[in-house]
Amino acid sequence: MTTDTPRILLFDIDGTLVATGGAGAVAWKQAFQELHGIPADIGKFTDAGMTDPDVGAKTFEAVLHRKPTPRELAQLVQRRLEHLPEAVAQSKGYRVLPGVPERLKQLSHDGHLLGIITGNGDGAAAIKLARGDLNRWFTFGAYATAGVDRPGIVRVAVERGEAMLGSDVPNTDIYVVGDTPLDIDAAHAVGCTAVGVATGKYDREALREAGADHVLDTLEEQLPLS
Supply the pLDDT for residue 39.
79
Task: Find the mean pLDDT for residues 130-141.
Answer: 97
Q: Which amino acid is at 186?
A: A
For residue 1, pLDDT over 60 is answered with: no
pLDDT tens digits, residue range 203-217? 999 999 999 999 999
Mean pLDDT of 118-127: 93
* Of residues 197 and 50, more confidently modeled: 197
- Phi, psi dihedrals of residue 53, rounded to the nearest 5°: -60, -35
CATH topology of domain 8-20+94-216: Rossmann fold (3.40.50)
For residue 18, pLDDT over 60 is answered with yes
Q: How far is CA 202 from CA 58, 68, 97, 128, in A?
A: 22, 30, 15, 21
Q: What does the domain layout of the chain look like in residue ranges?
A: 8-20+94-216, 23-90
Name residue 196's amino acid.
G
Give the residue with greater pLDDT, 123 vs 42: 123
Cβ 118 vs Cβ 143: under 8 Å: yes
Confidence band for 45, pLDDT divided at 50, 70 and 90: low
> Alpha helix locations (H) across 3-149?
23-36, 52-64, 70-90, 100-109, 122-130
Digit-coded pLDDT (tens) for 82-113: 999 999 999 999 999 999 999 999 999 999 99
Q: Does pTM surpass 0.75? A: yes
What is the secondary structure of 127-189 as a DSSP string?
HHHHTTT-GGG-SEEE---TT--HHHHHHHHHHHHHHHHTS---GGGEEEEESSHHHHHHHHH
Model confidence at 40, pLDDT cuts 50, 70, 90, reads confident
Q: Which residues pair with 197 in a beta bridge?
A: 216
Q: What are phi and psi of 10, to 5 degrees?
A: -110, 120
Round the average pLDDT of the chain to a whole number and report it. Answer: 92
What is the C-alpha separation between 106 and 98, in angstroms, rounded? 14
